[in-house]
Copies of this chain bind each other. A is one copy, B any other.
Amino acid sequence: MMTIQETAAFLKAQDGILLLTHVRPDGDTVGSAAALCQALRDLGKTAYLLPNPELTATYAPYAAPYLAPEGWEPRSAVTVDIADAHLLPENALPYADSIVLAIDHHSSHRPFAPRVCLDGEAAAAGEVVYEIVRLLTPVTPRIALPLYVAISTDTGCFVYSNTTAATHRIAAALLEVLDAAQVAAVNKALFRTKSKTRLAMESRMISGMTLHDGGRVAVTEIPLALREELHATEADIEDLASLASQVEGVDCGITLRELRPGVVKISVRSGFRINASDVCARLGGGGHRGAAGATVEGTLPEVKDAILAAVAAEEA
């Protein structure tokens, strides 16, 4: 385990750096990688992001200035917000042996890199990257904006329980250098805009929602058929995992997404009563106390039974 200072010193000595983001990339992995890439370039280094095949339109603009050109050969690779080697996208596997450092904030992190800079208390990898970057180079708007995206998306815009005093302190420092109109536009796009398809998806998920355990546990489903019927893109279904947990009286919201026939991605969002990470660990997954996931084999009804059993076992 490396400290922030050691990590900054280590990065200073690197060059030709490829930054790797995780499968189903979110604002935190993309924003953190983009900010770190810009900081490394500001230090005069060559640095790129590996294009992530699953990148959605929401976060593509943040990665765009940094995408590695085809054929470029990195000297080393650094992962950002990746908790486990199996969360590397397929096109990152050829670089697995080049990984020299993992920067992460998942307390469930399973070491796969020779060096790890991990803060399990940080709400986002963006917080860790901020602390590293400020030791390396001035935090310019081009660094601050993707970091704001990283931190705001991983905290639901400072509303999730992972938000700490440190989160707000870093947000203050980022806003200090950012244009207010730019931040307003980001907030409107990320937190106050929904596609028609997404609204239809929410509508259908809500009407199919089931409540369990006296209304404290809610399950919503995203069957493949629904996705196909609505022609939903990845962007349309991003973050839908928080929907079930918003229902009054619910402190454990479960979302089951059929990835392909026979494979279901489980997302759990929980309050203090239930540890989402422990629940998901029972099905081979992991994550944080309040937000965790697992990908398992089975039909939707089978997986629903399994996850409800796991929740019941954790309650007991």
Kindly name the residue among A194, A200, A204, A248 whose own CB sees the greatest number of chain B CB atoms within 10 A.
A248
A157 close to B (CB within 8 Å)? yes
Contacts of A193 in B (CB 8 A): 246-248
Whether the pair B192, A245 counts as a contact (CB closer than 8 A) is yes
Q: Is the CB of A199 within 8 A of B247?
A: yes
A157 proximity list for chain B (CB < 8 A): 157-159
Copies of this protein in the complex: 2
By secondary structure, the A interface counts as helix
A269 to chain B, nearest CB (A): 9
Q: Determine if A91 is an interface residue (Cβ-Cβ < 8 Å).
A: no
Q: Are A196 and B248 in contact (CB under 8 A)?
A: yes
Taking the closest CB of chain B, its distance from the CB of A119, in whole angstroms, is 16
Interface residue stretch chosen among A9-17, A98-106, A164-172, A308-316: A164-172
Complex CA distance for A45 and B210, rounded to whole angstroms = 52
8 A Cβ contacts from A162-185 to B: 163-169, 171-173, 175-176, 180-181, 183-184
Q: Which of B159, B172, B191, B194 contacts A187 (CB 8 A)?
A: B159
On chain B, the residues within 8 Å of A158 by CB distance are: 157-159, 171
Asked if A5 lies at the interface with its beta carbon under 8 angstroms from chain B, I say no
- By a beta-carbon cutoff of 8 Å, the part of chain A in contact with chain B is 156-161, 163-169, 171-173, 175-176, 180-181, 183-184, 187-188, 191-196, 198-200, 202-204, 206-207, 209, 211, 242, 245-248, 271-272
Task: Known pairs A199-B247, A200-B207; list 16 more (Cβ under 8 Å).
Answer: A157-B158, A159-B187, A161-B181, A161-B187, A163-B183, A164-B175, A165-B176, A168-B168, A168-B171, A168-B172, A169-B172, A184-B271, A192-B246, A194-B246, A196-B211, A199-B206
